[in-house]
Amino acid sequence: MAARPHVARRILVYWMDAVIVFIAIASIISLFGLLALKEITPGQALIAGLLQLFVYAGFPWTLRVAFDNKPAPVTLLALMTVASLAVTLGFPAGGYGAASWDILPWFMLSAVGLFLRLRVTLAVGAVSVVLFTVVMHLRTGEAWWWLLTLSTIMAVVMVGAMWLWLWLWRTIREAYESKEAKASLAVAEERLRFSRDLHDLLGRSLVLLSLRSELAAKLGSTEEMLQVHRLAGEALSQLHVTAAGLSALDLEEELAQARAALAGMGADCLVQARTAELPAASRALLAWVVREGTTNILKHSTATRCHIRLDAGRLEIRNDGVRHASQAGGSGLHGLAERISVAGGSLDAHHVGRDEFVLTATVPA
């Protein structure tokens, strides 16, 4: 109904305010009609009018309290009930509907029902219908079944209308809160994605940077220092790419860089990959796997050989020289496993034998 809940609330409340004002005006006009017919005295008309206006004026407040899920205004509801009963029972009754105050008991029942459970409201409504039927039958002599029918219809319509109003408001509010929750979840997921991308993009570069700088410090080599400078530049560029949200990777480029990086650390790397038939989304996922797998080999092993095989959407990275079990864990592999699972694939990492490690990823081909 509205873009924001406070706007919807305002529309619903003001709409009900207009309905109450209309009923109040109709009641006052009816009161003047009874006065013109001399069925009530001017003093009775004044008192009845003031009591009715008090009930009608208090109803918008109770409606706003119910809309805001605040505790029931017990004192106000009690005073409004007393006022409505005083008018209904204390003034002449020329037959059901002859007086403007005949609607007041059901008006109050709808107000009280806003704060009661369904079963309690049904019980209170049933008792009110029976009592009102008996009282009006004794006062007017009208047929009890006719009074019972009219009272039941009025009770159902008035209470049902109030509940419908309140349900509509709560539905709008819950829908908006659900939308807000989804937006917050989307922000959290984007932060997690950024964290994963930052880890995946910069992890290998920083590991290589660390190893190259350590080697340069030992050898005092100008060439190694130039390599450190190049790697630092690459890491900075990748950080810019991540910050811009453009962190898509090229699978062939990642395979080539993996071979070069592992060869540079003294490992014999064999790459056998068929990538042409893979869809773009699967290629991007496997590129991340290659990068993360290479990073883990550089960080957690002293590999002398590595075999990267890719065929029909199944990638396997196998290496030796595993120093400890940490190559199987880490936020990088966990993040990749979640991504691949969402895409309909799987990721598995486990040790083989004493010092081998196998990383396997399967994506839709």
d(CA 299, CA 275): 27
The CATH number assigned to the domain holding 278 equals 3.30.565.10
Judge if 153 and 28 occupy the same domain: yes
Judge if 151 and 298 occupy the same domain: no
In sequence order, what are the residues at sequence separation of 6 or more whose Cβ sits closer than 8 angstroms to the Cβ of residue 284? Answer: 248, 249, 251
Judge if 160 and 275 occupy the same domain: no
Alpha-carbon distance values, 316 to 248, 310, 339 (Å): 21, 6, 17
pLDDT-derived band of residue 232, with 50, 70 and 90 as boundaries? low
The 3-state DSSP class for residue 347 equals strand
Domain membership of residue 199 (yes or no) is no
Backbone angles phi and psi of 348, in degrees to 5: -135, 140
pLDDT-derived band of residue 244, with 50, 70 and 90 as boundaries? very low
CB 302 within 8 A of CB 335: no
In the block, tokens 């029976």 appear at 130
Domain membership of residue 70 (yes or no) is yes
Residue 187 above 50 pLDDT? yes
End residue of a domain, out of 131, 147, 179 = 179
The 3-state DSSP class for residue 272 equals strand
Domain membership of residue 219 (yes or no) is no
Domain membership of residue 206 (yes or no) is no
Judge if 169 and 261 occupy the same domain: no
Residue 48 above 60 pLDDT? yes
Total count of domains within the chain: 2
End residue of a domain, out of 150, 179, 208 = 179
Query: How many CA atoms lie less than 13 Å away from 27 in the CB half-sphere?
Result: 26
pLDDT-derived band of residue 246, with 50, 70 and 90 as boundaries? very low
Judge if 254 and 166 occupy the same domain: no
Residue 316 above 90 pLDDT? yes
Residue 348 above 80 pLDDT? yes
In the block, tokens 């883990």 appear at 296
According to DSSP, residue 353 is labeled T
Domain membership of residue 192 (yes or no) is no
For 50-68, write each residue's pLDDT tens digit.
998 999 999 888 888 888 8
Question: Which two tokens mark 90?
Answer: 């204390």
Q: Which domain holds residue 140?
A: 5-179
Domain membership of residue 243 (yes or no) is no
Judge if 279 and 357 occupy the same domain: yes
Judge if 266 and 161 occupy the same domain: no
Of 154, 169, 170, which is closest to residue 15 (Cα–Cα)?
169
Judge if 165 and 263 occupy the same domain: no
Cα 181 to chain centroid distance, Å, stands at 3
CB 146 within 8 A of CB 93: no
Domain membership of residue 27 (yes or no) is yes
d(CA 141, CA 144): 8
Judge if 32 and 173 occupy the same domain: yes
The DSSP bridge partners found for residue 330 are none
Least confident of 82-91, 95-104, 151-160, 318-327: 95-104
CB 48 within 8 A of CB 101: yes
Judge if 81 and 164 occupy the same domain: yes
Judge if 168 and 279 occupy the same domain: no
Judge if 270 and 127 occupy the same domain: no
d(CA 7, CA 173): 10
In the block, tokens 């540079």 appear at 264
In the block, tokens 């990538």 appear at 275
- The DSSP H or E segment spanning 327 is none
- The DSSP H or E segment spanning 314 is strand 314-319
- Taken in order 281, 346, 235, 259, is the CA torsion positive or negative? negative
pTM of the model: 0.48
CB 62 within 8 A of CB 77: yes
For 200-231, write each residue's pLDDT tens digit.
666 666 666 666 676 666 666 666 666 666 66
Burial of 151 (0-12, 13-18, 19+ CB in 10 A): buried
Domain membership of residue 81 (yes or no) is yes
End residue of a domain, out of 179, 196, 228 = 179
